[in-house]
Amino acid sequence: MRARWLFAVALSTLAGTAAASPPRGKLHVRRAHARQSLATFDAAAETAPSYRYANLSKEACLAELTERHIEHIVVHEAPGVLAPVRLPNGVGGVRYHTRLPVSERATSPWEVFDCRLVLALDEFSKIVVAHGYDEAITYSGWRPPNKGWPKDKLAVRHPGGLAVDIKELRKSTAPNNDETLDVMKDYQGAIGSPSCGPSAKSPRPESPNSSQLRAIFCEAVSARMFTSMLSPNHDRAHHNHFHLEVTPHVTWRLIR
């Protein structure tokens, strides 16, 4: 009975609080987690980096940002977010930003991240840099909760600043951005198919870009730096981005 209760709690957490719409249409809110049965419990969850990051206090997280020499700007007003920050120069050698004009990024809510997600992105950046990329184009990080959200109530997923949607990985030194991994064009997966592991199918058609994009995703899965990692294999709502998320107080993972 306890196992059933824990699983129900996990699914309830996945459902979360309805988020505001992403900047480019309603790509996913509740639909993103429609296949909640894919959540699996991890007996060693508490040893995963994602678990440690997600459960840090605000003070401990910000202290770790400083210890890692991660440049950040503290945001003083971000409802739903425990430790909101901006990353003026990225993290771990990778710049994470939307396609908004540079002049708008400094005030856009979509450029805000919870500190705990930033620590996970710092780890993810090591993989991205190892593959030769230094720029991640995003749809959004934080999405402010609906008006009237209680001032001191924390949110999860995008409303909590704990998730980011990445659409492209780029080499900033490449002329005309002609060396870009585009999730929508290059992932080449199939809805319902595992992305990683022995039962995963190779990209179809397979290309250098599709193989590299799949490798980056699966290396991050193996490193256990995120609680949820959703790709175009998850559902139609994720056809054009990776959803990367850390979630506090849970012992499940959702990978697809």
pLDDT tens-digit series, residues 130-152: 999 999 999 999 999 998 899 88
CB 9 within 8 A of CB 3: no
182: how many CB neighbours lie within 10 A of its CB?
17
Phi, psi of 107 (to 5 degrees): -120, -5
Intervals of the chain under pLDDT 70: 1-38, 175-178
CA distance 17 to 230: 18
| Token pair recorded at residue 55 | 């459960």
Q: What is the pLDDT of residue 173?
A: 83
Q: What is the pLDDT of residue 44?
A: 87
**3-state helix, strand and coil shares in percent for the chain, rounded to the nearest 5:** 35, 15, 50
Q: What is the pLDDT of residue 176?
A: 66
163-170 and 180-182 as β-strands: parallel, antiparallel, unpaired?
antiparallel
Degrees to nearest 5, angle at CA 80 with 78 and 81: 65
213: how many CB neighbours lie within 10 A of its CB?
25
228-230 and 252-255 as β-strands: parallel, antiparallel, unpaired?
parallel
CB 236 within 8 A of CB 213: no
Q: What is the pLDDT of residue 23?
A: 42
Each residue's pLDDT tens digit, 8-46: 334 333 433 333 334 444 333 344 444 445 678 888 889
CA distance 246 to 116: 8
H or E stretch covering 95 = strand 95-97
H or E stretch covering 61 = helix 58-67
Q: What is the pLDDT of residue 179?
A: 86
Kindly report the pTM of this predicted structure. Answer: 0.85
